[in-house]
Structure 1
Amino acid sequence: MIIQQTKLVDCYEIIPDIYHDERGRLTKTFHQDTFAAHKLQTRFVEQYYSSSRKKVLRGLHFQLPPHQHVKLVTCLFGIIVDAVVDLRVGSPTYGQFALFDLRAEKGNMVYVPEGMAHGFYVVSESAIVVNNASSVYSPEYDCGIRWDSVGIPWEDEHPVLSQKDSSLVPFPLFQSPFVYEK
């Protein structure tokens, strides 16, 4: 397993070990000792997945304190463009974003730390995306910023959005409660 620092401080792309044989493949998506050695969260309390069709954009989502969480995101089926935005005031990468090409056949993952927004756009005909979270979903602390308010060069200017996602506050108007700590 390879854990690579991205351009966003504390955000990582994880390249798993994949074993192929005549039956197919086995992908190791989590190894506690490897995560702990890199000082990454090893306790995930909730897992969920979404299935989406081509041109769907979900995000940019996060949970507010005290229910903020770390996410470990992977695409089990299809291809997505995954996006992460640093919302931590005082971070050297505050307000910046990183994009990831997550593909089922690569098995790659994104480790999204607390204080970052997450979203994705479906490139393939459909996709299944799995999220592991370090805190349980809390509707009253569920939040987000508009998908088109941080300069992300999405592949589509008119993606399929939920009503909720289309009405989120733009990033410049978001008063972030997240503070960067070294």
Structure 2
Amino acid sequence: MAEIRKTPISGVLEIFPKVFEDQRGYFFESFRSDWLEQHGCKENWIQDNQSFSQKGTVRGLHFQRGDHAQAKLVRVIQGKVLDVVVDLRKGSETFGAHYSTILDTEQHNLLYVPTGFAHGFSVLEDAIFVYKCSNYYHKESEGGILWNDSHLGIDWMVDNPIISEKDAQWQKLQEFKETSEGGL
């Protein structure tokens, strides 16, 4: 059975599967729905995504609005990333707070991100990143928070980050709060 740890932000869970190793290599269950169900999370995973990113890349902070909001179950199958979530839930006691953790191929850990969060990661070693989504990507519902917004105070653990043009243009948290009626 996996070890499931609650994080300081309600609803965000970190999952550490039980890994069986021997002289041949290793084996582990990378996903079981009952891991999340025992914590009240009953997602219908309908889309899997995979990306490769080189060391120094920062992706995020992304979210989907309204009926297209997505819960995510994220992990790394090669390399190491700093995974980051920001609480954007309207009325949440932790609105604007972030949580970050290292996801890597040594721990084989996963992070469950409920709807209502912005998500991103920085690449500490070249990485293949995979994640399940509870809803399909919908371009018109896409949004983001500026990755280096000083009000968030996130240490991305990379120097001279590689950022997409789109990710460099997202709004700051305060702007999001004002234009989104206080949250997602």
Match in the other structure for 1:15: 16
Q: Percent identity?
A: 36
Deviation at 1:158, TM superposition (A): 3.0
Listed as ranges, the matches of 1:1-182 within 5 Å are 1-124=2-125, 126-149=126-149, 150-156=152-158, 158-174=160-176, 175-176=179-180
Structure 1 vs Structure 2 CA RMSD: 1.5
Q: Is the 8 A contact 1:9 1:92 kept in 2?
A: no
Q: Deviations over 1:83-141 (max 9, x none)?
A: 000001211111000110111121001100000010000011x1010010000111111
- The TM-score, its normalising length taken from structure 2, stands at 0.92
Deviation at 1:50, TM superposition (A): 0.6
What count of residue pairs does the alignment treat as equivalent?
Answer: 179
Distance (Å, rounded) in 2 between the aligned partners of 1:75 and 1:179: 29
Runs of 4+ in 1 over 3 A off after TM superposition: 175-180
Q: Deviations over 1:24-65 (max 9, x none)?
A: 111212112232111113420000111000100000011011
- The TM-score, its normalising length taken from structure 1, stands at 0.93
Q: Is the 8 A contact 1:86 1:94 kept in 2?
A: yes
Distance (Å, rounded) in 2 between the aligned partners of 1:67 and 1:12: 21
Distance (Å, rounded) in 2 between the aligned partners of 1:128 and 1:66: 29
3-state SS of 1:28 partner: coil
Deviation at 1:177, TM superposition (A): 5.9
